Amino acid sequence: MYFVTVRQPGYVLFAMTPSELGAVALAEDQQTVRLLRRAALGEAWESFAEWKSSELTHSDFMAAMQNRDEPATPAELLDVLPAALRDQVRS
């Protein structure tokens, strides 16, 4: 899967999935990685998972997705996280 990088206020990196319904982002503090989703194109982004970049960088997350197909839902992006981190960030 590939990501499309765009500018988004509040982030130094904001990379969307091909469908533009999911995204991984690195906050301006460069310490916080977030997964975001939206219900449809043009709607507002909602953060649904967050962790410290020291636990898993945005680059490592994106590399883990490189040989996968885009998930059917943005929530399935969590599947590539290490189990302990995945359990920690799930609400």
Give tens-digit pLDDT for 75-91: 999 999 999 898 888 64
pLDDT attached to residue 87? 87
Residue 4: which H helix or E strand, with range? strand 4-5
pLDDT attached to residue 1? 85
pLDDT attached to residue 36? 97
pTM of the shown model: 0.91
- The one-letter code for the residue type at 87 is D
- Residue 83 corresponds to which tokens in the numbers above? 């189990």
Q: Which residue's structure tokens are 């906050």? A: 27
